[in-house]
Structures are given as C-alpha cells and as structure tokens.
Structure 1
Amino acid sequence: MVKVAVRERIEGLAVADDFYDSLDEAVGELLSDAARRAEANGRKTVQARDL
C-alpha cells in the first residue's frame, strides 16, 4: 500500500509505523482469498465479486 494514499484516506489521524505491516498482511490475505475464489469458480480473472 502507498503510505500517502493511506494518510489521505484517514485524514486528520496519525498512523503508527506498525500499521502498514498489518495492513500489508491483511491486503495480502484478501488477495489470496479472492484468487482462490476465482479459481474455485473456474475463472482466471479475479473480479470484484471475489472480494
């Protein structure tokens, strides 16, 4: 994730350094789950509905 984009989305709040590591992990899990769902449905394209 781009730190600038994160800061823009949560405007007005400070962001702890360890937040980004946790965010990267959560996004990675989300992407892996979406990829598994697409494959389980016989698709090679991950779509919004896989989230």
Structure 2
Amino acid sequence: MALLKKLLKKFFTLIKSQPIKTLVDVRLNNVSQLAGFAKKKDLEFFPS
C-alpha cells in the first residue's frame, strides 16, 4: 500500500505540473473497493 501511495503522489504531482483541463478515469472497474484512488485519505493528492 505504501508503494501505491508513493505512485499516487508522484502521479498527481506530474498532473499538477501540466496544463491539463480534463482528467478522465478509464479504469475498467473504477467503483470497486479495490479502486483505492477514491479513498478519503488520498483526496489531498487530487488537483483542485
């Protein structure tokens, strides 16, 4: 899980550094409990 958190932080740091207007979630099962990226503790990484 620590690796996932590091990857998530790196991913959103990269996203924030680019002029991106829209980000689309294309995972096959993005509502699964295993999706992980939608957990409350990870919301700090999401761009605002």
Q: Which has the larger radius of gyration?
A: 1
Q: With the length of structure 2 as denominator, give the TM-score of the two structures.
A: 0.41
Higher relative contact order structure (alpha carbons within 8 Å, sequence separation ≥ 6): 2
Q: With the length of structure 1 as denominator, give the TM-score of the two structures.
A: 0.39
